[in-house]
Structure 1
Amino acid sequence: MDNKNIIRLLKHTCSLMELHGENDFKIKSYNNAIFNLEREKGDLSAMTATELAKINGVGKSIATAIDEINQTGSFANLDKYLQETPPGVIELLSLKGIGAKKIRQLWKDLDIESSEALLQAIDEGKLAKLKGFGEKTQNNLKEAILFKQKHSGKLLYAEAEPFVNALKESIKQQFPDVQISESGAFRRKTEIIEEILFVVASEQEAQIKAYLSSIEALEYSQKQSGPFTWRGVLTETDTPVRFRFTSKNSFYRDLFITTGSQAHIYREVKEQKCLLDLAREAGQVTSEEDIYQLADLKFIAPELREGQFEFDSAKMEQRANLIEMDDLKGILHNHCTYSDGKHSLEEMATYCKELGYEYLGITDHSKSSFYYANGLYENKVKEQQAEIDELNKKLAPFRIFKGIECDILPDGSLDYDNDTLASFDFIVASIHSAMSMDVEKATLRVLKAVENPFTTILGHMTGRLLLQRDGYPVDHKTIIDACAKNNVVIEINSHPRRLDIDWRWIDYALSQGVKLSINPDAHAKEGYHDMIYGVHIGRKGGLTKEMNLNSMSLEEINKYFESRKEKALNMAV
């Protein structure tokens, strides 16, 4: 149990308390404790109950609860509420846009105990009689339910990754002669995984199938399985899992066929034959390269097999060397305790240096986000910049660049005046509020920010949170064209739930000469490790180190920032 999971259980308990109508004082105590625990730097799982009770706002009862979580994975109070709550009502708590108190109304007043029952009640107009459930609330609820149903069983790539790696390693240990590889969307590093697929070749096929059926995390589906296929689901998430069994002679052919998207493998490439035809007609192949050679093509990396630009020889020549983790020289777009980050500025910088990077861009939230993200007013900006100056002396030659994640306000302007903007080395401009916009309004809002001479990087272009909410709609082409015209870098936000800009638009951005920047949006030291997901997305779009901003060396990016700022100051006069 890490801090994040412990706090998640406490938050869930707090929601259940509201659901059951506990007194406000008790709920407030939990919320106060959670607020302080989110800022606790120590490892909660390593603390005794006595040590936990000394944390500001925690107290003896919550300390005891955390101690029990550390011992058993849960605690008595949570278990009690879970037993007293119908599973369908617990599921309603995960709906976006509705709190526990309103769910209590639905449960107690209308006897609604599932999302299906809630959807039916909305369609039948039953919610209209309840206070606080106007037409807008009902529409938002309906959208949330339909969104959740649409994405049922799907996983983020980063959520699927630990399971895929652990299961593959487990099978290798149990059956040393096995040939096994992940395939499908997961091998292509797609951001959302709808099915986890493996290709397997082994003389012990029956034993492997029996082993899979014995794994507690998997639920076998005999009805859907066949002679060469084992099918089931991940029990926790209901995500489909499929094992395709083949011979060792056919392993690479079947891996090739199952990896590429339909648009890729059905692409006509030679003598009116598609890649799938060539693969099926081939004799024994010893690698996927053999199949591409039959089509007179160079090997195409799995990430690129989406039927996009991978058959354009000129583009593939330009992008022959896709970006790698080792190409990243610094980490931009990060938050520390000055706004809503977990670790101090020095801790964030020191860890970044320990990871071998040359520089860090610190970009705490700007003042408009003060109430929900502790955004920085001008006095705090000056305080942070003074600390950066001192740390740069201490950590040299490592460098901290003075940045800010500056809110793009509803009218498209940035959150500070020009004098304050000029005090930063670089600006990441992002939208965080008033996100209910049509495509015209959202596009115009972003365009105005892109045209601001102080904007260096456009942050998470659509504001999407994968499997949680759709982003605001934007005209990607128009915005990318504006970034090209104004020399603004576009962020690939590496947080697994964002991965925004969408990789499907990276090719167009590169074709327009727009640089990208792989940024983790880290709110804690651990967030730096999300950079790998941005690399995956960059590679899918054909990104090379030459077109990635933070592949620049410290000296190169310092000159880049200085040049951009000089130009902005001249334009602002």
Structure 2
Amino acid sequence: MTNSDIVELLELTARLMELHDRDAFKTRTYQSAAFNLDKSTADLVNLPVEELVKLPGVGKSVAQKIREIAETGRLAELDELMAQTPSGVLDMFRIKGLGVKKVRTLWQELGIDNLRDLKLAGENGQIAKIKGFGANTQEKILAALEFLQEQQGKVRMDKADMIANLLYDELIKHFERVEISGQVRRKAQEVDTVQLLLQTSDPIAAMQILSGLANLEQNEKESSPFVWRGQLQGFDVLVELPFYSAQQMNRQLFVQTATEAHLRQMGTNGTSLLEVAYSSVIPEIAVDTTEAIEKNLYAQAGLPYIVPEMREDDFAFRWASQHTNDELVTWQDLRGTLHNHSTWSDGKQSVADMAAYCRELGLTYFGIADHSKTATYANGLDVDRVRQQQAEIDQLNAGFGSDFRILKGIESDILGDGSLDYDDATLATFDYVVASVHQTLTMSLEKATTRLLKAIENPYTTILGHPTGRLLLAREGYPIDHRAIIDACAKHQVVIEINASPYRLDLDWRWIDYAMQKGVMLSINPDAHELAGLLDMHYGVAIGRKGGLTKAMTFNALTLNEMSEYLQQRRERIGK
């Protein structure tokens, strides 16, 4: 049980109370508590009632509910509400644009209590006829349903990694060797199959072992004598556990990691990589020699060695004709971080605490880029608060030596017409500006591209933030002309963000190589709202490597001196 789990249960309770038209005051109490606790850094799980009531938005009643959740993992009041709510109605909350009131209307007025009936009602035009909905809302609901259907059974990279490691920690107790393979090893941004290879000489005994593990739920129909398929309890993604002998483990780890398109690549000897993998004699040796074994397979095919992240298709081989693997960016190459939030806007930690943690991580600069004044929902900074924050940063910087610095940034909203939401005099006070779209996300390709192009042309725009605004598995990004955007960034010397949050991973990895070809640097930005969020740069590095990002083209791989010089020269160009 974590803070996030507690907040999630409180939010769900409030939502269902509103859905069932329960006491409005009590509903607001839950909503207020969830809103405030989402920003709290207190250890909710272990705080007693008398300490919980001291937190903003938490009264004695909610404090007792928090203790109930922490101690039992459940909330009786929520269980009662869940029992009265069809599971399909809960699914409707996943539809973008459907709030509690609209869900209640659909359920009560049309009798819709599942996504299938919702889709049928939309296709038949029934939703558009409901007061307060209309044809536009109906169209958006149908589009959101289609998107959700495409994403069903998938998880993000971070969750897939967590599931794979949970399974590994359990399975290694029962099998001599276990290897995380497939999409997880390849660092796919969305995963529909979490695969681990199990070494065994007795598949029947292996299947019996797996049957005895309480948290594994087998799909017997999809399984076979040599492959266990099912799910890890609580997660809606396929788990695949193939059995291999010791002699086959290294070969299959290689084959199962790469896509079919990658394995079809023909080598200089006229043989495909897959054929080489199956025809070669591969030694049965220790796990820590996996890279050496795989390098040998590529060499036998007459092909350059490709790192696991890049084994998607033939792009990696084209990339390898111009680059070497030691050019790829690594976590150790990162010298700082530039897109982060603090308690000045919607972050959970202070600027000082975030900076201190960056120093612990070995970084030499911390860039704060809190939300700007248009983002009122995120406590965005008006001009007066900008000055106050910058004064605080000056004071903090005075306490550092020459080896660390806090950089003054802002995440400035790109308005509907493409302008930034501060005047030039205010923008000039920042060391750098991350320009991002946060509102009015429903746009045509032409509208979105034009909007971004104007923002890129603004001389104060240093970094283009999360270019498509997508949220993986939750919201499709707005369409943009990637080539036009990247070309404009090249012309105006604007860096493009790889938003490292596993919810975004935006810019998409498929456009990294084109950006590098055009001379556009990429910045691996965590968009961190708390200390742990800074570690999301690991996901950004993985996606960067998948797209072939080199250290030389990684903006935040610049040293502190190089970054300071770059930003100073940019300010001087603006002044001219």
Q: 2:555 aligns with which of 537, 549, 552?
A: 549
Cα distance in 1 for partners of 2:319, 2:27 equals 62
Q: Which amino acid aligns with 2:575?
A: L
Which residue matches 1:347?
353
| 85-94 vs 375-384, greater mean Cα deviation | 85-94
Which residue matches 1:42?
42
Which residue matches 1:73?
73
Q: Is residue 469 from structure 1 mapped to residue 475 from structure 2 by the alignment? A: yes
Which residue matches 1:400?
406
| 22-31 vs 425-434, greater mean Cα deviation | 22-31
Q: 2:532 aligns with which of 526, 538, 547?
A: 526
Cα distance in 2 for partners of 1:277, 1:438 equals 46
TM (norm. structure 1) is 0.96
Q: 1:260 aligns with which of 248, 258, 264?
A: 258
Q: 2:388 aligns with which of 357, 361, 383?
A: 383
Cα distance in 1 for partners of 2:388, 2:153 equals 46
Cα distance in 1 for partners of 2:345, 2:236 equals 37
Tell me by how many angstroms 1:289 deviates: 1.9
Cα distance in 1 for partners of 2:79, 2:571 equals 56
Cα distance in 2 for partners of 1:150, 1:520 equals 27
Tell me by how many angstroms 1:52 deviates: 1.1
Which residue matches 2:143?
143
Kindly report the root-mean-square deviation, in angstroms, between the aligned alpha carbons of the 2 structures: 1.6
Which residue matches 1:162?
162
Tell me by how many angstroms 1:244 deviates: 2.1
Q: Which amino acid aligns with 2:385?
A: K
Q: 1:460 aligns with which of 441, 466, 475?
A: 466
| Deviation sequence 1:222-256 (CA, Å, 0-9, x none) | 22222322222334233111122222222222222
Q: Is residue 307 from structure 1 mapped to residue 305 from structure 2 by the alignment? A: no
Cα distance in 2 for partners of 1:242, 1:54 equals 47
Contact kept? 1:310, 1:316, Cα under 8 Å: no
Cα distance in 1 for partners of 2:196, 2:182 equals 8
Structure 1 residues 547 and 25, CA gap change in structure 2 (3 angstroms): same
Tell me by how many angstroms 1:129 deviates: 4.4
Contact kept? 1:319, 1:543, Cα under 8 Å: no
Which residue matches 2:90?
90
Q: Is residue 373 from structure 1 mapped to residue 387 from structure 2 by the alignment? A: no
| Deviation sequence 1:151-177 (CA, Å, 0-9, x none) | 1110001011111012112221223x2
Tell me by how many angstroms 1:390 deviates: 0.1
Q: Is residue 276 from structure 1 mapped to residue 308 from structure 2 by the alignment? A: no
Task: Give the 5 Å matches for 1:507-518.
Answer: 507-518=513-524
Partner SS, residue 197 of structure 2? strand
Cα distance in 2 for partners of 1:242, 1:455 equals 46
Q: Which amino acid aligns with 1:143?
A: A
Tell me by how many angstroms 1:32 deviates: 2.0
| Deviation sequence 1:133-154 (CA, Å, 0-9, x none) | 2111111222222221221110
Contact kept? 2:163, 2:194, Cα under 8 Å: no
Partner SS, residue 374 of structure 2? helix
Task: Give the 5 Å matches for 1:120-139.
Answer: 120-139=120-139
Tell me by how many angstroms 1:272 deviates: 3.2
Alignment: residue pair count:
567
| Deviation sequence 1:413-451 (CA, Å, 0-9, x none) | 111111111100011111111111111111111111112
Q: Which amino acid aligns with 1:545?
A: K
Cα distance in 1 for partners of 2:463, 2:557 equals 15
Tell me by how many angstroms 1:551 deviates: 1.0
Which residue matches 1:118?
118
Which residue matches 1:240?
238
Q: Which amino acid aligns with 2:88?
A: G
Cα distance in 2 for partners of 1:153, 1:383 equals 47
Q: Which amino acid aligns with 2:477?
A: G
| Deviation sequence 1:247-278 (CA, Å, 0-9, x none) | 22222222221111122101122343221122
Contact kept? 2:304, 2:320, Cα under 8 Å: no
Partner SS, residue 273 of structure 1? coil
Cα distance in 2 for partners of 1:428, 1:304 equals 28
Q: Is residue 425 from structure 1 mapped to residue 431 from structure 2 by the alignment? A: yes
Tell me by how many angstroms 1:183 deviates: 1.6
| Deviation sequence 1:493-531 (CA, Å, 0-9, x none) | 000010000001111111112111111000111111111
Cα distance in 1 for partners of 2:181, 2:322 equals 23
Q: Which amino acid aligns with 2:549?
A: L
Runs of 4+ in 1 over 6 A off after TM superposition: none
Sequence identity (%): 47
| 538-547 vs 239-248, greater mean Cα deviation | 239-248
Tell me by how many angstroms 1:318 deviates: 4.7
Partner SS, residue 329 of structure 2? coil
Contact kept? 1:509, 1:515, Cα under 8 Å: yes
Q: Which amino acid aligns with 1:432?
A: H
Partner SS, residue 232 of structure 1? strand
Q: 2:207 aligns with which of 186, 209, 212?
A: 209
Contact kept? 1:19, 1:101, Cα under 8 Å: yes
Structure 1 residues 410 and 482, CA gap change in structure 2 (3 angstroms): same
Partner SS, residue 45 of structure 2? helix
Tell me by how many angstroms 1:560 deviates: 0.9
Which residue matches 1:323?
329
Q: Which amino acid aligns with 2:395?
A: E
Tell me by how many angstroms 1:395 deviates: 3.2
Q: Which amino acid aligns with 1:273?
A: T
Cα distance in 1 for partners of 2:271, 2:327 equals 28
Cα distance in 1 for partners of 2:212, 2:92 equals 32
Which residue matches 2:290?
none
Q: Is residue 227 from structure 1 mapped to residue 233 from structure 2 by the alignment? A: no
Structure 1 residues 568 and 212, CA gap change in structure 2 (3 angstroms): farther
Contact kept? 1:155, 1:193, Cα under 8 Å: yes
Contact kept? 1:459, 1:491, Cα under 8 Å: yes
Partner SS, residue 243 of structure 1? strand
Which residue matches 1:449?
455
TM (norm. structure 2) is 0.95
Cα distance in 2 for partners of 1:39, 1:313 equals 43
Q: Which amino acid aligns with 1:415?
A: D
Q: Which amino acid aligns with 2:251?
A: R
Structure 1 residues 482 and 315, CA gap change in structure 2 (3 angstroms): farther
Structure 1 residues 453 and 249, CA gap change in structure 2 (3 angstroms): same
Which residue matches 2:287?
none
- Structure 2: segments with no counterpart, 5+ residues: 285-292
Tell me by how many angstroms 1:314 deviates: 5.6
Which residue matches 1:105?
105
Tell me by how many angstroms 1:357 deviates: 1.2
Q: Which amino acid aligns with 2:112?
A: I
Tell me by how many angstroms 1:315 deviates: 4.3
Cα distance in 2 for partners of 1:405, 1:183 equals 38
Contact kept? 1:309, 1:315, Cα under 8 Å: no
Cα distance in 1 for partners of 2:373, 2:527 equals 18
| 487-496 vs 32-41, greater mean Cα deviation | 32-41
Task: Give the 5 Å matches for 1:19-58.
Answer: 19-58=19-58
Task: Give the 5 Å matches for 1:166-185.
Answer: 166-175=166-175, 177-178=176-177, 180-185=178-183
